[in-house]
Amino acid sequence: MAFQVPRGTQDILPGQSERWQFIENIAREVCSIYQYKEIRTPIFEHTELFLRSVGESTDIVQKEMYSFEDRKGRSITLRPEGTASAVRSFVENKMHAAAQQPVKLYYIGPMFRYERPQAGRYRQFVQFGIEAIGSEDPAIDAEVISLAMSVYQKAGLKNLKLVINSLGDQDSRSAHREALVQHFQPRIGEFCADCQKRLAQNPLRILDCKKDREHELVQSAPSILEYLNEESAAYFEKVKFYLEELDVEYTVDKNLVRGLDYYNHTAFEIMSNAEGFGAITTLAGGGRYSGLVKEMGGPEIPGIGFAMSLERFLAAIDAEQAELPIQSAIDCYVAYMGDKAKDRSVSILNHLRKAGLSAERDYENKKLKGQFKSADRLQARFVAVLGEDELEREAITLKDMESGEQQEVSISDLAEVILSRKNGK
């Protein structure tokens, strides 16, 4: 029996992995510019961590976690997202005591959710995310959002839509919650079983239900924006002001609630508007969380962050036909004629590689013609041909595949000649 990858997962093969590396590098570069530092946390955590952070009433916790017991009977979960781990680590490593606040972190790594796979939705997917923990300044909200936009723009994406909302502080949320319960209670029987449970647990999540999205009561539900107290409204105004200062265009969507429980104040999502992009258009999502650090056993300090899936990022690049400048050509192919030259080509290849040149040779005993075909396939900029006669003279013929020019050079000078020709000297 031939094996296949598990449903909802994929192999990323050579030819594709270069694209992944390219966008990962963009993410790392932008993080370096904005001064976010990488954090690497375990891929599995204690299940309790996600119950406490992501929230018991969320789809993630209710239906989507890959949880199992380890050999000692502890409940372990493959991480479904990165914020919980980042905050756990922040608290565990007492990062709140660091001189520089907020602590600005980023991560890139696989996440796991048992969802129904479809285009853009996987069971294992890679998130790039950032978390800025320890500041209540609305300017950091705008910074986090603009960082996400910069990453997409650096890869050439143009058809982006940013939607923002405020979920308010605890008081605003309680008032809104009351209003939602009153709004839905009389007709909750018309809603799905999940929403009936949500009414008591977290009525805000009804607004995010995939099944009941079109219900008239969802459309007419009271907006959180009407329930923001003065402080929360002022905070939201400041975030919008700073976004304008940063030239980041946005739309306010009062129904944006996000699928995780830890948010308050700013919530946002970035969508692709590109034609031909699949049904799932959300590229990234994030927001502010005020109670999470405390919930994890730390001091009462807030954080804000976002995460984007690299799968959807690449799909958006494809939908917009944005070209990634990926260099796959090699510097030099070392071809040989005859056994002596074949043996010698091993050390010549090594010499080129030690000089930092990308180089390749034949390992299949191909004739010279076949070796040139390989060189073409590898888009070799130069082919160095070693014959027995030349070997006698410690020389090699260097062919420039762009101009067709040939020149004999001494083997000991080969790397240097290629390096200087490559740099246009």
Residues that bind ligand HAM (CB under 6 A): 81-83, 113, 115, 121-122, 125, 127, 129, 131, 259-260, 282-287, 305-309, 311-312
- The packing angle between helices 138-154 and 230-245, to 10°, is 40
- Choice between 149 and 391, CB closer to ligand HAM: 149
Kindly report each contact of residues 412-416 with a partner whose C-beta sits within 8 Å and lies 24 or more positions away, as own/partner. 414/348, 414/351, 414/352, 414/384, 415/351, 415/352, 415/354, 415/355, 415/357, 416/355
- Choice between 229 and 282, CB closer to ligand HAM: 282
CB of 323 to ligand HAM, least distance (A): 22
- Choice between 124 and 201, CB closer to ligand HAM: 124
- Choice between 312 and 344, CB closer to ligand HAM: 312
CB of 365 to ligand HAM, least distance (A): 45
- Choice between 59 and 362, CB closer to ligand HAM: 59
The Cα 191–Cα 195 span in angstroms is 6
Give the bridge partners for 121, in sequence order.
Answer: 118
CB of 359 to ligand HAM, least distance (A): 38
Q: Which residue is closest to ligand HAM by CB?
A: 305
CB of 331 to ligand HAM, least distance (A): 37
CB of 329 to ligand HAM, least distance (A): 32
CB of 3 to ligand HAM, least distance (A): 22
- Choice between 290 and 309, CB closer to ligand HAM: 309
CB of 306 to ligand HAM, least distance (A): 5
- Choice between 130 and 385, CB closer to ligand HAM: 130
Cα within 13 Å of Cα(275), Cβ side: 0
Name the residue type at position 412: S
Indicate the pairing of strand 160-166 with strand 264-272: antiparallel
CB of 208 to ligand HAM, least distance (A): 10
Measured in degrees and rounded to the nearest 5, phi and psi for residue 95 equal -70, -15
Residue 414: alpha-carbon gap to chain centroid: 41
- Choice between 286 and 298, CB closer to ligand HAM: 286
Indicate the pairing of strand 103-112 with strand 124-133: antiparallel
